Amino acid sequence: MPILDCLIIGGGPAGLTAALYLARFKRRVVVIDGGWSRAEWITLSHNIPGFPEGISGPTYHDRLRHQAQLYGCTPEKGYVHTLRWRDESGFLAEMEDRAILAQTVILATGVVENKPPVPHLADAVKCGLIRTCPICDGYESRDKRIAVLGNGPHAAAEALFLRTYSSKLTLLLVGDVALPYPTHEALIQNGIEILQIGSEAIEMQEHGVAAFCAADGQSHSFDVVYTAFGTTAQTDLAASLGARMDDAGRLFVSAHQETSVTGLYAAGDLVRGLNQISVANGEAAIAATAVHNALPRVPAA
CATH code: domain of residue 71: 3.50.50.60
When the pLDDT of each residue in the chain is averaged and rounded to a whole number, the result is 93
257 alpha carbon, distance to own chain's centre: 17
pLDDT tens column, 3-30: 999 999 999 999 999 999 999 999 999 9
223 and 241 both lie in a single domain: no
Provide mean pLDDT across the span 65-85.
96
Q: CA 261 → CA 91, 107, 264, distances in Å?
A: 11, 12, 6
Residue 243 counted as domain residue = yes
Give pLDDT, residue 93. Answer: 97
**186 in a structural domain:** yes
Give yes or no: residues 67 and 18 share one domain: yes
Q: Indicate whether 32 and 97 sit together in one domain.
A: yes
Give the C-alpha separation, 129 to 263, whole Å: 43
pLDDT of 156 higher than 90:
yes
Residue 176 has pLDDT above 90, yes or no: no
Quick one: pLDDT at residue 259? 98
Is 231 in contact with 113 (CB distance < 8 Å)?
yes
Cβ atoms within 10 A of the Cβ of 217, count?
7
Q: Which pLDDT does position 123 carry in this prediction?
A: 84
Same domain for 104 and 132, yes or no, is no
Nearest to 232 by CA among 3, 100, 38: 38
* 234 in the same domain as 107: yes
30 lies in a domain? yes
Q: Is 32 helix (H, G, I), strand (E, B) or coil?
A: strand
What number of other Cβ atoms are within 10 A of residue 20's Cβ?
24
Same domain? 173 vs 211: yes
Following DSSP, what letter does each residue of 225-294 receive, concatenated?
EEEE--EEE--HHHHHTT--B-TTSPBP--TTSB-SSTTEEE-STTBSS---HHHHHHHHHHHHHHHHHH
Looking at the structure, tell me whether residues 58 and 34 fall in a common domain: yes
Q: In this structure, is residue 102 part of a structural domain?
A: yes
Identify whether 300 is part of a domain: no
pLDDT value at position 69?
97
Is the confidence at residue 206, as pLDDT, over 80? no
**Band of pLDDT at residue 116, cut at 50, 70 and 90:** confident
Q: What confidence score (pLDDT) does residue 171 get? A: 96
Instruction: Give yes or no for residue 172 having a pLDDT over 80.
Output: yes
Residue of 61, 29, 67, 35 whose CA lies nearest to 48: 61
Domain finish residue from 186, 207, 228:
228
How many domains does one find in the chain? 2
| Helices 13-24, 277-294: inter-axial angle, 10-degree rounding | 40
Domain finish residue from 187, 209, 228: 228
Q: Secondary structure of the chain: what % helix, strand, coil (to 5)?
A: 30, 30, 45
Indicate if 20 and 108 belong to the same structural domain.
yes
Percentage of the chain beyond pLDDT 70 is 100
Is residue 161 within 8 A of residue 139, CB to CB? The reply is no
124: pLDDT strictly greater than 90:
no
Annotate 118-148 with b (16+ C-beta within 10 A) or e (fewer).
Answer: beebeebbeeebbbbbbebbbebbeebbbbb
Q: Are residues 40 and 18 in the same domain?
A: yes
Average pLDDT over residues 34-56: 91
- The pLDDT value recorded for residue 76 is 94
Residue 301 covered by a domain: no
pLDDT at 214 exceeding the cut of 80: no
Domain boundary among 170, 203, 228: 228
Share of the chain above pLDDT 90, in %: 77
Determine the pLDDT at residue 115.
87
Whether the per-residue pLDDT at 89 is higher than 90: the answer is no
DSSP state of 190: T
- Split at pLDDT 50, 70, 90, the class of 125 is confident
**Domain hosting residue 204, numbered range:** 115-228
| Gap between the Cα atoms of 107 and 14, Å rounded | 9
Question: At 39, is the pLDDT very low, low, confident or very high (cuts 50, 70, 90)?
Answer: confident
Q: 12 and 138: one domain?
A: no
* Shared domain check, 157 and 57: no
